[in-house]
Amino acid sequence: MDNSKIPVQRGLTRRIIPCLDIRDGRTVKGINFESIRDAGDPVELAVVYSEQGADELVFLDITATVEKRKTLVALVKRVAEQINIPFTVGGGISAVEDVALLLKNGADKVSVNTAAFKDPALIKLLSNEFGSQCVVLAIDTKKEDDGEWYVYLNGGRTKTATKTRDWAKHAVELGAGEILLTSMNNDGTKNGFALDITADLATRFNVPVIASGGAGTEAHFKEVFEEGKADAALAASIFHYKEIEIPALKKYLQQQHIPVRN
Amino acid sequence: MVAIIQYNAGNVQSVQYALQRLGVESIVTDDEALIRSAEKVIFPGVGHAAPAMKYLRERELDQLINSLKQPVLGICLGLQLMCNHSEEGDTVCLGIFNEQVRLFHSTDLKVPQIGWNNIYDFRSPLFHSLTENDFVYSVHSYYASLGNETIAKTDYILPYSAALQKDNFYAVQFHPEKSGPVGETILKNFIKLS
Q: Do B118 and A106 touch (CB under 8 A)?
A: no
Question: Using a CB-CB distance cutoff of 8 angstroms, which residues of chain A are in contact with residue B46?
Answer: 131, 133-134
* Count of domains observed in chain A: 1
More confident residue, A67 or A131: A131
pLDDT above 80: residue A36: no
Shortest CA distance from A85: residue in chain B:
B178
A32: pLDDT strictly greater than 50: no
Residue A10 within any structural domain of the chain: no
Per-residue pLDDT, averaged over A44-59, amounts to 93
Mean pLDDT along residues A75-96: 94
- According to the model, what pLDDT value does residue A24 have? 80
pLDDT in tens, A163-210: 999 999 999 999 999 999 999 999 999 999 999 999 999 999 999 999
| A42 within some domain | yes
- Whether pLDDT at A136 is above 60: yes
In a domain, A241, yes or no: yes
Q: What is the ipTM of this complex?
A: 0.93
Residue B140, classed as helix, strand or coil, is strand
Domains of chain B, earliest start first: 2-192 (3.40.50.880)
pLDDT at residue A139 greater than cutoff 60: yes
CATH number of the domain encompassing residue A49: 3.20.20.70
Is residue A236 within 8 Å of A29, Cβ to Cβ?
yes
A175 touches chain B (CB under 8 A): no
Specify if A262 maps to a domain: no
> Under an 8 A CB cutoff, do B115 and A106 touch?
no
> Which positions of B are annotated as active-site residues?
76, 175, 177
| B46/A86 Cβ within 8 A | no
Those residues of chain B that have pLDDT short of 50 are: none
Within-domain flag for A261: no
**pLDDT band at residue A62 under the 50/70/90 scheme:** confident
Question: Which residue type, as a one-letter code, is found at position A126?
Answer: L
Cβ pair A57, A83 in contact under 8 A: yes
Measured between beta carbons, the chain B residues lying within 8 angstroms of A11 are 117-118, 155-156
A8 lies in some domain: no
The answer to whether position A3 is within a domain reads no
Judge whether A245 lies within some domain.
Answer: yes
Inter-chain CB proximity B21 and A84 less than 8 Å? yes
Mean pLDDT of A12-30: 86
Output the pLDDT for position B47: 80
Report long-range pairs for B128-133 (Cβ below 8 Å, ≥24 apart).
B128/B185, B128/B189, B129/B185, B129/B189, B130/B182, B130/B185, B130/B186, B133/A8, B133/A10
Shortest distance, CA A113 to any CA of chain B (angstroms): 21
> Residue A39: which pLDDT band, with cuts at 50, 70 and 90?
low
Helices (H), B11-134: 13-21, 32-37, 49-58, 61-66, 77-81
Average the pLDDT over A233-240 and give the result. Answer: 92
State how far the Cα of B5 lies from the Cα of B7, in Å rounded to an integer: 6
Q: Which domain covers residue A54, as residue numbers? A: 15-255
Dump pLDDT digits (tens) for B10-36. 678 899 999 999 999 999 999 999 999
Chain A residues in contact with B112 by the CB 8 A cut-off are 132-133, 177
Centre a 10 Å sphere on the Cβ of residue B25 and count the other Cβ atoms it contains.
10
